[in-house]
């Protein structure tokens, strides 16, 4: 009996109401049929209407109860409780149960996303801090020392009476200033891939890909269209970093012997494809696990400039990373 009742509760609301009303109508008809001699139809019809209202009210309350749980959970989440989930309800029908599961899995995806975003932000902050320390060290130990030494030499030169001796010292100062300037340039280059500004996106990517191929012994197939300066500097940098991560993953994880890199313009997008013929992997599992942040970071970085990253891979099939970055007309950059 209990099992029958549970099975009835699982039946979709539409059928429950239809069934209940059909049963009530049938009962009323039967009672009318057998009680025509006992006081007329009116009391039977009134009882039928009341019964129908009662049964419909009970069914609707039972069926919609789980929706209140859904609403309460949504409220908790919006108040900041990311761990809130809708509990299973013994009276939910199949449709509501499906809705509950979809809702919970949406919350789960959101939680995982926020967690990864936190990790990547923490990593970016740590990297920025590390970079600042490195620059501070280089400025302090390099340029600052050179400038201090130059100051002393200038003082010495000023005190020297002999013209030729002074000229020689000033010449030394001038050459050391040149070295200090070179050092400064080197530090500045470290802040943004120099090839990107000096050569443009395509050649910068080519130079990086060649380094990877040389270092790993992989064969490469480059098809790089000249995309000029269609992207603003931040979008160029984002695309460059995404390709860098894709190539780094190929070198570290794929076991491939060849990779292919394409860059071009299609419509109002710049697109890049990075493919390898390596072992491939389960993308959904890699994205949801607590492993690396590279894949997640690629999507975030592309997202910041309005772009997207699609990763196609399966174990045994190689991997293809497809990046699209929009070209905004207003942002066409002159060379």
Ligand X SMILES: Nc1ncnc2c1ncn2[C@@H]1O[C@H](COP(=O)(O)OP(=O)(O)OP(=O)(O)O)[C@@H](O)[C@H]1O
Q: Which of 264, 221, 261 is nearest to 244 (CA)?
A: 261
CA 284 to CA 295: how far, in whole Å?
A: 11
The first and second tokens of residue 221, run together, are 């197939």
Is the CB of residue 288 less than 8 Å from the CB of residue 334?
no
Partner whose footprint covers residue 299, from Mg ion, ligand X, none (CB < 5 to 8 Å by kind): none
- Only one of the segments 107-115, 220-228, 273-281, 293-301 lies at the binding site for Mg ion (rule: CB under 5 A); that segment is 293-301
CB of 82 to Mg ion, least distance (A): 26
Q: Which is closer to ligand X, CB of 107 or CB of 250?
A: 250
Q: Tell me if 119 contacts Mg ion by CB under 5 A.
A: no
Helix (H) or strand (E) holding 325: strand 319-326
Angle value at C-alpha 170, between 164 and 171, nearest 5 degrees: 90
Q: Which is closer to Mg ion, CB of 295 or CB of 305?
A: 295
Binding Mg ion by CB under 5 A: which of 228, 264, 294, 306?
Answer: 294
CA 244 to CA 301: how far, in whole Å?
A: 12
Q: Which is closer to Mg ion, CB of 213 or CB of 298?
A: 298
- Only one of the segments 56-64, 119-127, 144-152, 290-298 lies at the binding site for Mg ion (rule: CB under 5 A); that segment is 290-298
Is the CB of residue 205 less than 8 Å from the CB of residue 243?
yes
Q: Which is closer to ligand X, CB of 73 or CB of 277?
A: 277
- Contact residues toward ligand X (CB under 6 A) are 249-250, 252-254, 276, 278-281, 286, 291-295, 319
Ramachandran class of 261: left when φ > 0, alpha when ψ lies in -120 to 50, beta otherwise? beta
Number of residue whose CB is nearest Mg ion: 294
CA 115 to CA 121: how far, in whole Å?
A: 10
Q: How are beta strands 258-266 and 319-326 bridged, if at all?
A: unpaired
CA 113 to CA 158: how far, in whole Å?
A: 64
Q: How far, rounded to the nearest angstrom, does the alpha carbon of residue 199 sit from its chain's CA centroid?
A: 29
Helix (H) or strand (E) holding 311: strand 308-313
Q: Tell me if 65 contacts Mg ion by CB under 5 A.
A: no
Q: Which is closer to ligand X, CB of 192 or CB of 252?
A: 252
CB of 138 to ligand X, least distance (A): 25
CB of 69 to ligand X, least distance (A): 36
Q: Which is closer to ligand X, CB of 166 or CB of 253?
A: 253
Q: Tell me if 232 contacts Mg ion by CB under 5 A.
A: no
Q: If you write DSSP's letter for every residue of 215-259 in order, what string do you get?
A: HH--EEEEEE---TT-S-HHHHHHHHHHHHHHHHHIIIII--SEE
Q: Tell me if 313 contacts Mg ion by CB under 5 A.
A: no
Q: Which is closer to ligand X, CB of 226 or CB of 314?
A: 314
Partner whose footprint covers residue 293, from ligand X, Mg ion, none (CB < 5 to 8 Å by kind): ligand X
Q: Which is closer to ligand X, CB of 128 or CB of 174?
A: 128
CB of 316 to ligand X, least distance (A): 10
- Write each residue from 248 to 287 as x if it is in contact with Mg ion (CB under 5 A), else as -, in one continuous string: -x--------------------------------------
Is the CB of residue 24 less than 8 Å from the CB of residue 55?
yes
Give contact residues for Mg ion (rule: CB under 5 A): 249, 292, 294
């Amino acid at each position: 009996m209990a099992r029958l009742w549970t099975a009835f509760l699982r039946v979709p609301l539409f059928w429950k109401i239809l069934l209940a009303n059909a049963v009530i109508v049938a009962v009323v008809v039967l009672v009318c049929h057998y009680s025509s001699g006992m006081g007329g139809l009116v009391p039977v019809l009134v009882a039928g209407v009341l019964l129908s209202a009662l049964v419909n009210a009970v069914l609707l309350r039972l069926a919609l109860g789980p929706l209140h749980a859904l609403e309460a959970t949504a409220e908790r989440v919006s108040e900041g409780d990311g761990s809130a989930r809708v509990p299973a309800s013994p009276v939910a029908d199949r449709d509501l149960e499906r809705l509950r599961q979809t809702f919970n899995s949406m919350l789960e995806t959101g939680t995982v996303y926020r967690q990864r975003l936190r990790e990547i932000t923490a990593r970016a902050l740590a990297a920025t801090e590390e970079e600042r320390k490195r620059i501070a060290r280089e400025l302090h130990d390099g340029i600052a020392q050179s400038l201090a030494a130059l100051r002393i030499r200038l003082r010495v030169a000023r005190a020297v009476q002999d013209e030729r001796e002074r000229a020689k010292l000033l010449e030394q100062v001038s050459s050391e200033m040149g070295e200090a300037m070179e050092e400064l340039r080197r530090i500045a280059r470290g802040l943004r891939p120099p090839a990107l500004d000096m050569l443009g996106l395509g050649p910068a990517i080519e130079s990086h890909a060649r380094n990877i191929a040389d270092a790993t012994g992989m064969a490469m197939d480059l098809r790089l269209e000249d995309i000029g300066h269609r992207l603003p500097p931040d979008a160029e940098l984002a695309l460059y970093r995404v390709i860098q991560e894709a190539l780094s993953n190929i070198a570290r994880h794929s076991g491939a012997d060849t990779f292919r890199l394409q860059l071009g313009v299609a419509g109002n997008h710049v697109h890049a494809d990075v493919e390898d013929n390596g072992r491939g992997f389960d993308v959904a599992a890699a994205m949801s696990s607590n492993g690396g942040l590279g894949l997640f970071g690629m999507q975030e970085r592309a997202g910041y400039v309005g772009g997207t990253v699609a990763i196609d891979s399966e174990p045994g099939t190689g991997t293809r990373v497809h990046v699209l970055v929009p070209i905004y007309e207003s942002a066409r950059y002159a060379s």
